[in-house]
Structure 1
């Protein structure tokens, strides 16, 4: 066969191979232009594929994606967020008002787990765990020592409902390890932390957060207080960072009349959605005062804004946080999720709750609470200079755009807050000593029938001297002037912490808020008939 014939035979084959190779190369690098630049909407996928196929070292692509997604989402606004699968479990537990575990509260004392409380009727009580037991081993693995933190403890003690965990505990001064097997179960978490009477006619409800069970707990609290004679309510939302919209709408519904607008939301591709009261509320004729502060956010602000806009009650405290963005959640197959901001919340008067922010520049946004403190906003009435004026349905002036401005400003009580106090609190020494004192004196302290008797006893004990000595032994030197200045604050907080160890969360608030200035003001307004703003005369509500 001559050379010409060979060329004719092989040429089509070489051409075919060239085309195939070109298609292969094109498919590998179709996302990239001639200069190697990524182009088009699929840049992220293109980049990840390029890394996976061509990077010099082996890359854990799953981990790379998990690290990249939060950085992408958090550039949008302060509240859009990517939530990993593990973190999503904790978030859901918080909202659902329960988790699966052994049913104890604990404190890490000198790298040892100390049981400070037991859920009545829970799995630990059934297995024989006692308050002040030290948990030393979990499933025969030692769980003490340096490096132990709350996250490690929770990971070891929580688990699937019905699963078993073996604990080794030390009790009293007995060195013998006690082995106990506990079957994990659902453990309820209360979001309504306290509900009690402030006076013969005024009830108090402290809501720590909003979850799926909060409305049920709220209605139970109202029913309990009404049976005790309450005709007015003080709802404490200080420090409450919010929760589900439908829960807070149901709660506000208890105080508004049929057809009254509670809140609405609207966004670029999110049509306006209105939420109205349906008229079935049980407290439409009862007085209400709401307490807020600089950490009250989201659902707390919706609650306060609705009551304020309808002139239904008074808001007391300090300007709220200013979180009025609506997040829509989308889940991924692995259990992770992204919460993307799709709209803004507005009160009935048209006020936006959300304060301003710059995209991608959120450090100042996150630090605003501290900056406001440094500027003296908590000691003086917040400025309304950058806030847009609106009017309530009754014609009162209110402001929007930077959270909810209270009707009555009450400055933060800073008496006793000095460098010595801040040091012992930040080091955890105040709470730590409360645990040690409670443990050492438990037999005596368990003798009291109620929190008042225990509290009265504690006021006559040298707690201040004791905690100062404890702090001194742990590296915080005595500073007599500052100790004297903080003495009342330290003693009152220490007493409340000890009371909680024996009579629970509600007793803690009863002791801790005994002299609270916002509560005193709220009681005065309700009992003098001034809790509902009818008119404004020189800043006074009549």
Structure 2
């Protein structure tokens, strides 16, 4: 059995992250050898079976290579060896479990960029508005900022070719603007108030991707940190965020892992380590071909005395569940929200020479109390993927007692509280999905994305005035004085929705808050959005209430 004491030295962490990539994500070596053998065998032994009495005699290689040969040599349509190969890889892995997967080169590169914390491009954040690429912000120090590209600029040409109109998608934008470091791209930019197009020749560079979306003080004592994924740089970003908030007076912390689908195991373990006394178990993992490997807290525990809450929801998965499960089982933090996704499988990456990769499930992970929170997948991948959506129709998102756990999956935390395995992390404090502001008119507004579209248009047309404001408070104050509410009411009817005064009264606070947050995000990014939206965020409001009242984790979930 391996035991790991976390050292958290930056150089070691980087080396571990690069040399051994273990994914805890929303994926036996024998499969890889099988696929390799298939195609080596096809090259070396093209005639390895004979027909006898109308039956094909099997060779020692088995049925899979035989099937591939039959397809290539007899199938009705022409197929390339590569296409057959990829079909085999995808389907073999998919039949093992829902998270083992084959990643073609382009997808593999994209996912690595997200986790490794950088990509090669021109350094902009954008949205698509009326079939045009609108630059929301430029990355500090990136090629676009250095060349003089500004927020509010619109990209209408790429490499002297029109790049606007129906059919523009985020994927197409990424393909055009990303590229190898040092390569160039020529942009034609339309700028507000300037008649002619502006030409920019940009040399692509390495651009950072942050996984800590925002860190701010939700109250004078309570800090808030949101992590969107667990990448190679997440732990260091987290420490920077903690240091920043501590200088601003943080005494308690809300760690938001909602909608965080996971990432690197090491990043999750390192963050938990900061909360626990030395020697406490964080997580262990084990598989048929992997001996038990345990991870224990080190002397790095700068947050061991800080009161903490962790927010989770149905899309908090894998690495997020490791963090929530470790802090819950050690009675170190209060978990608030709704039941997490339920992914307790560990994937390890096997890179292939064509830059594709195989992520293969090699182990299950277990929280300190011994529970594996992997939900069942014996009914097939499709049912597995749909399960999280079925929670709504079954009432689970509204009522805590709609979730049923078998007594055989019962475990206890360090202080004797009952917790369950087999289907995600059940929070200590349950918060139902907020329906306080719901109305039929709001439903139509959201379906047509009118809050987003109006906010984007408003920010674009008022950008010169708004960019003079350095924080979200000034933007909120300005929007309250500007008559934005009256203008949005007219915008609703202009877009085919009948205005209903009763519905608007019900939804007014949410509508105005969301509009302000959307507009502020187009000027200040996450530092504008999250501090404003918190007033209608029922999960966060509950977390603040729990921390203000210094409540410990409950014996059973509460409503």
What's the TM-score, normalizing by structure 1?
Answer: 0.89
Say if 2:324 and 2:335, in contact at 8 Å, map to a contact too.
Answer: yes
Output the CA distance in 2 between the equivalents of 1:67 and 1:335: 17
**Unaligned runs of at least 5 residues, structure 1:** 1-25
Which residue pairs with 1:28 in the alignment? 47
Which residue pairs with 1:323 in the alignment? 343
> Structure 1 residue 416: deviation in Å?
2.6
Which residue pairs with 1:364 in the alignment? 383
Which residue pairs with 2:462 in the alignment? 441
Q: 1:335 aligns with which of 344, 355, 362?
A: 355
Output the CA distance in 2 between the equivalents of 1:264 and 1:166: 50
Q: CA 1:232 to 1:393, structure 2 compared with 1: closer, same or farther past 3 Å?
A: same
Query: What's the CA shift string for 1:266-324, capped at 9, x where partnerless?
Result: 12222211111112211111111111111111111110111111111211111111111
The answer to whether 1:450 aligns with 2:450 is: no
Q: Which has the larger radius of gyration?
A: 1
Q: 1:374 aligns with which of 375, 389, 393?
A: 393
**Unaligned runs of at least 5 residues, structure 2:** 1-44
Which residue pairs with 1:12 in the alignment? none
Output the CA distance in 2 between the equivalents of 1:479 and 1:65: 57
Say if 1:84 and 1:337, in contact at 8 Å, map to a contact too.
Answer: yes
Say if 2:155 and 2:187, in contact at 8 Å, map to a contact too.
Answer: yes
Which residue pairs with 1:170 in the alignment? 190
The answer to whether 1:99 aligns with 2:107 is: no
Say if 1:459 and 1:495, in contact at 8 Å, map to a contact too.
Answer: no
Which residue pairs with 1:206 in the alignment? 226
Q: 2:365 aligns with which of 329, 335, 345?
A: 345
Output the CA distance in 2 between the equivalents of 1:34 and 1:129: 74
Which residue pairs with 1:263 in the alignment? 283
Output the CA distance in 2 between the equivalents of 1:355 and 1:31: 46
Which residue pairs with 1:191 in the alignment? 211
Matched residues, number: 512
Deviates more, 1:65-74 or 1:486-495: 65-74
Say if 1:319 and 1:382, in contact at 8 Å, map to a contact too.
Answer: no
Q: CA 1:433 to 1:264, structure 2 compared with 1: closer, same or farther past 3 Å?
A: same
Q: 2:149 aligns with which of 129, 136, 143?
A: 129
Which residue pairs with 1:19 in the alignment? none
Which residue pairs with 1:513 in the alignment? 534
Output the CA distance in 1 between the equivalents of 2:155 and 2:339: 43
Output the CA distance in 2 between the equivalents of 1:106 and 1:298: 29
Which residue pairs with 2:23 in the alignment? none
Say if 1:464 and 1:487, in contact at 8 Å, map to a contact too.
Answer: no
- Give secondary structure in 1 for the equivalent of 2:400: coil
Deviates more, 1:119-128 or 1:517-526: 517-526
- Superposition pairs for residues 105-504 of structure 1, below 5 Å? 105-358=125-378, 361-387=380-406, 388-504=409-525
Say if 1:464 and 1:490, in contact at 8 Å, map to a contact too.
Answer: no
> Structure 1 residue 147: deviation in Å?
1.4
> Structure 1 residue 356: deviation in Å?
1.2
Query: What's the CA shift string for 1:500-541, capped at 9, x where partnerless?
Result: 11122122100111343333332333333324x4x85x8789
> Structure 1 residue 479: deviation in Å?
4.8
Query: What's the CA shift string for 1:67-110, capped at 9, x where partnerless?
Result: 44223322222211111111000000000111111111111112
Query: What's the CA shift string for 1:190-246, capped at 9, x where partnerless?
Result: 111111122332211111111111000001111111222222211111111111001
Say if 1:464 and 1:491, in contact at 8 Å, map to a contact too.
Answer: yes
Q: CA 1:225 to 1:519, structure 2 compared with 1: closer, same or farther past 3 Å?
A: same
> Structure 1 residue 465: deviation in Å?
4.3
Q: CA 1:495 to 1:539, structure 2 compared with 1: closer, same or farther past 3 Å?
A: closer
Output the CA distance in 2 between the equivalents of 1:90 and 1:173: 36
> Structure 1 residue 425: deviation in Å?
2.7
- Give secondary structure in 2 for the equivalent of 1:176: coil
> Structure 1 residue 34: deviation in Å?
4.5
> Structure 1 residue 54: deviation in Å?
4.1
Q: CA 1:251 to 1:333, structure 2 compared with 1: closer, same or farther past 3 Å?
A: same
Identify which of structures 1 and 2 has the higher relative contact order when contacts are C-alpha pairs closer than 8 Å and 6+ apart. 2
> Structure 1 residue 189: deviation in Å?
1.2
Output the CA distance in 1 between the equivalents of 2:429 and 2:50: 60
Say if 1:263 and 1:276, in contact at 8 Å, map to a contact too.
Answer: yes
Which residue pairs with 1:8 in the alignment? none
Say if 2:400 and 2:558, in contact at 8 Å, map to a contact too.
Answer: no
Output the CA distance in 1 between the equivalents of 2:191 and 2:246: 43
- Give secondary structure in 1 for the equivalent of 2:535: coil
